Amino acid sequence: MPSVVGLLEQHELAARRRVDGLREEADRIQAELSAAEQEWQEWVVARRRVDAVLTAETAGTVGMKSVAGPRKADASSAAGESVKPRSQVLVWREGLALSALSVDYQRIVQLLVDRARLGQGPLTCQEMAAAFGMDVVPARVEALRSKAKRLVARGWLAEPGAGRFTPAAGVAGSGGGS
């Protein structure tokens, strides 16, 4: 009959091998994640640069084209809805109404304008997701962050601190006509 100490040593050895194997797998996954994040950041930079070039060339025009080119028409666009997955955001200028933005962008700006009106500070994207009743998960937060950053780039919002958003000076909410 095997000894208890011998059985414990066998189980300890098996557990250590499993831990070592999982550590190696975690290291591999961490390296893969790091490479994927780097690639993602490169695409973000590329998109921002293209947006900046297109904005500089078409500043002030209403009919800006999408970077991705024309998308297939669907029933909602045929019905005249203004909500599109890749809506363009016009550069803010004095007198431009909030209604010039798609509904998703209007909601973000209006939330921040309302908070500013109440004397409350900037919001993070996680706080915005919670305020909109969304699940605060990375996909939702990153979608909001992308929209908020686009609004910052077009002059609708300001980013006084990293990842914290507030309406830009002069931007008013729906009181003026949205």
pLDDT along the chain (178 residues), means of 10: 88 95 91 88 89 73 42 40 56 82 88 89 90 88 91 90 88 57
Spatial CB neighbours of 143, under 8 Å, sequence gap ≥ 6: none
Do 88 and 172 fall into the same domain? yes
Do 47 and 87 fall into the same domain? no
Do 91 and 173 fall into the same domain? yes
138, part of any domain: yes
Q: Which residues pair with 165 in a beta bridge?
A: 123
Do 124 and 48 fall into the same domain? no
By the 8 A CB rule, do 123 and 164 touch? yes
47, part of any domain: yes
Do 95 and 42 fall into the same domain? no
Domain total in the chain: 2
78, part of any domain: no
**Measured between alpha carbons, how far is residue 52 from residues 46, 144, 174 in Å?**
10, 19, 27
22, part of any domain: yes
Q: What is the pLDDT of residue 4?
A: 92
Q: What is the pLDDT of residue 58?
A: 63
Range of the domain at 161: 83-178
Q: Residue 98: which CATH number?
A: 1.10.10.10
Do 35 and 94 fall into the same domain? no
Q: What is the pLDDT of residue 94?
A: 84
Q: What is the pLDDT of residue 173?
A: 65
63, part of any domain: no
Do 33 and 117 fall into the same domain? no
Do 88 and 176 fall into the same domain? yes
75, part of any domain: no
Do 42 and 107 fall into the same domain? no
Greatest distance between any 2 Cα atoms in the chain: 89
The count of other CB atoms within 10 Å of the CB of residue 87 is: 16
The rounded distance, in Å, linking the Cα atoms of 27 and 25 is 5
Q: Is the whole model's pTM more than 0.75, yes or no?
A: no
Spatial CB neighbours of 154, under 8 Å, sequence gap ≥ 6: 55, 89, 90, 91, 92
The rounded distance, in Å, linking the Cα atoms of 39 and 79 is 37
Q: What is the pLDDT of residue 79?
A: 39
- Our measurement of the distance from residue 61's CA atom to the centroid of its chain's CA atoms, rounded to an integer in Å, reads 25
Do 171 and 121 fall into the same domain? yes
The rounded distance, in Å, linking the Cα atoms of 82 and 100 is 10
Is beta strand 157-161 parallel, antiparallel or unpaired with respect to 164-167?
A: antiparallel
**Measured between alpha carbons, how far is residue 73 from residues 7, 82, 139 in Å?**
68, 13, 25
The rounded distance, in Å, linking the Cα atoms of 173 and 125 is 19
40, part of any domain: yes
Q: What is the pLDDT of residue 163?
A: 87
